[in-house]
Amino acid sequence: MPNINVTVTSSFLSALSARSTAVHSGNPVVSRQDAAEAASSLGLAFPRWFANGPQFKAYADARGQFRVPTIAECESLGLGYGEPGKRGRKPGTTVVRQSKPRVPKPVAVSVNLAQPAKVDVASLVRDDSANTDIQTAVSKALGVDVLLGSSDNIPYVPQVAKTYVPWGHFTDLKTLVESQHFLPTMIVGPSGNGKTDMCEQVCAHLQREYVRVNITSQTDEDDLLGGFRLVNGETKFALGPIPLAMLRGAVVNLDEIDLGGSALMCLQPVLEGKPLYLKKIGRYINPAPGFNVVATANTKGRGDDGKYAHTTIMNEAMLERFAVMLEQGWADAATERKIVGNVLKQFGKYDATLVKHMVEFAAVTRNNFDQQICNDQIATRRLLHMARVFCALGSVESALQHTLSRFDADTANGFKNLWNAIHENPNANPSPSGEAVPVEPTAPMVWPFVTMAPCRNAGAMTWSTCWRRAARMTKASVSAASDSELFFSSTARSCSAAGVPPGSRVRSTAWPSVRSACARRAKMFIGAH
């Protein structure tokens, strides 16, 4: 007679007896539904050994009514829940079969699709309620219940960027901020050369609180100092970023300050390091130790020169209150190679030859821009855009196409032709170890291509024509021009517009030219690294 699991079977019988509502011949009587519910409550399978056996029928003429046996009776009959781990089916026991998991057949996938990483969105949102302590402290100091406004105005300590390369006036600015002396500083330079990043990274390296205020033509006193806001039917004063930074001893970055208007004059006492009077609440704000102002601009406050639209002529009295003026140009070739190379290394796409050509490409466009040969130039920020697009798409051509589309068609085509000429340079010397190529060659290197460009207001000679002509010139024709053939001409002629007599526009130049029919019709620019 088979053995049964006495413990499990006894637990089932106890649960079954508890559900009984009738008694027959001294035995509890239950229904089939009661048996199912009792087994389910214990996590057991349906007791077929109990419901299907005639031994446990309560009445001979009643269906679905069963008497509850004793554990001794079940043992004697050999009916109940069987022992676990026994193979084979035993009489009177219930066997629960576990189905084998179906293993799908492998499917060949041609493209390796990366699964997007799961992001905790809540962790990416800065909640103003997290700054309750700051708000409480400021309200207590002022004696007025104030708000801190948006999260952007809350001072925070930026993180050190792993790809950032300190250069230029980084050390000077870091020393100024670290000295704790109040020295308002203005950084002036072309767009995209890293002025704002330098301010942020200085604070990151010094672990200083940082507030960035983007100045526009619409920025007013309310945006800078604060104003009243209606909150839940109550009027409360929202503290602006400038007084908050003064109270916290943070560094304020007035980004693009030359875009602002006369409303910036409210910052006069701030730039003097004196207490700021908030007339709307009648309170003075004293600057805490370490507070400083760093402004960035594309001009020296002299207004729009045609390149930076909507920049204004800044008040001389305000400019005079900046103690330090830092002029930041373009990074040198070695530094720019490090900057671009760090981005490529971050994504595992570093190529020394590509980095070298990108930096040389940008340098030529800047030289042409300085000499008024073209109206645009490639900034360091544009190079970083190109590097990141290349890392994403894996194609230099696609990166060049998508990043240069920012410019007009003629300029973009000219830049592409220039890139092709540089990228095909046989003098490229990539480092097999993956390190950067030395900055300066031992001897001046002459580009194996000639760039010809018309004057800005030339007529028939267009930019695209000029660049196409330069692209058609072979390396053989260029190399045929020896050093003896190069000379500095005293005059240069540009093509005249329609209706203007030929040769009417002649101006002096110091640009070298080549004695060829093609070069006599345009300027010849020989780029030297």
CATH number for the domain spanning 138: value is 3.40.50.300
Is 312 a residue whose pLDDT tops 70?
yes
Is 137 a residue whose pLDDT tops 60?
yes
Same domain? For 399 and 453 the reply is yes
Q: What percent of the chain has pLDDT over 90?
A: 41
pLDDT band at 458 (very low <50, low <70, confident <90, very high): very low
Give Cα 324 distance to the centre of its chain: 31
Question: Which range, of 179-193, 217-231, 341-355, 442-456, averages the lowest pLDDT?
Answer: 442-456
DSSP 307: S
Question: Which range, of 246-255, 314-323, 481-490, averages the lowest pLDDT?
Answer: 481-490
Greater confidence, 478 or 30? 30
| Confidence at residue 33, expressed as pLDDT on a 0 to 100 scale | 84
Distance CA 456, CA 494 (A): 10
Q: In the chain, helix, strand, coil percent, each to 5? A: 40, 15, 50
Arithmetic mean of pLDDT over the chain:
76
Q: What pLDDT, in 10s, does the model give residues 168-189?
A: 999 999 999 999 999 999 999 9
Query: In the beta sheet, which residues pair with residue 528?
Result: 446
Q: What percent of the chain has pLDDT over 70?
A: 69
3-state secondary structure of 7: helix
Helix (H) or strand (E) segment spanning residue 61: none
Same domain? For 205 and 354 the reply is no
User: Of 41, 60, 77, which residue is a domain's last?
Assistant: 77
Same domain? For 310 and 341 the reply is no
Place of tokens 């070069």: 519
21 part of a folded domain = yes
Is 71 a residue whose pLDDT tops 50?
yes
Same domain? For 446 and 372 the reply is yes
Angstrom distances, CA of residue 163 to CA of 314, 344, 486? 35, 10, 43
Is 521 a residue whose pLDDT tops 60?
no
Is 127 a residue whose pLDDT tops 90?
no
Average pLDDT of the segment spanning 104-110: 55
58 part of a folded domain = yes
Domain that holds residue 409: 332-529
Tell me the one-letter amino acid at 125.
Answer: V
Contacts of 178 (CB under 8 A, 6+ apart): 206
84 part of a folded domain = no
Distance CA 441, CA 77 (A): 101
Distance CA 248, CA 286 (A): 10
Place of tokens 């009792």: 38
| Confidence at residue 435, expressed as pLDDT on a 0 to 100 scale | 42
**Range list of H helices, 274-408:** 316-320, 333-346, 352-370, 380-393, 396-404
| Confidence at residue 508, expressed as pLDDT on a 0 to 100 scale | 38
Tell me the one-letter amino acid at 257.
Answer: I
Beta strands across the sheet bearing 292-297: 210-214, 251-255, 292-297, 185-188, 324-327
3-state secondary structure of 256: coil
User: Of 35, 53, 77, which residue is a domain's last?
Assistant: 77
Same domain? For 305 and 400 the reply is no
> Is 325:183 a contact under the CB 8 Å cutoff?
no
525 part of a folded domain = yes
Average pLDDT of the segment spanning 78-84: 76
Q: What pLDDT, in 10s, does the model give residues 38-58?
A: 888 888 888 888 887 777 887
99 part of a folded domain = no
> Is 54:62 a contact under the CB 8 Å cutoff?
no
Distance CA 450, CA 421 (A): 9
Same domain? For 323 and 338 the reply is no
Number of CB atoms found within 10 A of residue 56's CB = 22
Domain tally, the chain: 3
Query: In the beta sheet, which residues pair with residue 81?
Result: none
Average pLDDT of the segment spanning 212-217: 93
| Confidence at residue 105, expressed as pLDDT on a 0 to 100 scale | 60
Greater confidence, 212 or 132? 212
User: Of 327, 355, 382, which residue is a domain's last?
Assistant: 327
Greater confidence, 27 or 476? 27
101 part of a folded domain = no
3-state secondary structure of 4: coil
426 part of a folded domain = yes
Beta strands in 132-197 (DSSP E): 146-147, 185-188
Same domain? For 403 and 378 the reply is yes
Q: What are phi and psi of 65, to 5 degrees?
A: -115, 125
Question: Which range, of 304-308, 406-410, 442-446, averages the lowest pLDDT?
Answer: 442-446
| Confidence at residue 115, expressed as pLDDT on a 0 to 100 scale | 61
**The pair of three-digit structure tokens given for residue 504, joined into one six-digit string:** 């009417």
Same domain? For 343 and 298 the reply is no
pLDDT band at 494 (very low <50, low <70, confident <90, very high): very low
Same domain? For 368 and 491 the reply is yes
Average pLDDT of the segment spanning 403-428: 84
Is 401 a residue whose pLDDT tops 70?
yes
Same domain? For 216 and 281 the reply is yes
Question: Which range, of 2-16, 314-328, 441-455, 496-510, averages the lowest pLDDT?
Answer: 441-455
Same domain? For 386 and 312 the reply is no
Greater confidence, 67 or 26? 67
Distance CA 223, CA 225 (A): 6
Same domain? For 151 and 289 the reply is yes
| Confidence at residue 399, expressed as pLDDT on a 0 to 100 scale | 93
Distance CA 433, CA 2 (A): 77
> Is 463:363 a contact under the CB 8 Å cutoff?
no
85 part of a folded domain = no
Is 257 a residue whose pLDDT tops 90?
yes
pLDDT band at 108 (very low <50, low <70, confident <90, very high): low
Number of CB atoms found within 10 A of residue 70's CB = 12
pLDDT band at 101 (very low <50, low <70, confident <90, very high): low
pLDDT band at 164 (very low <50, low <70, confident <90, very high): very high
| Confidence at residue 100, expressed as pLDDT on a 0 to 100 scale | 57
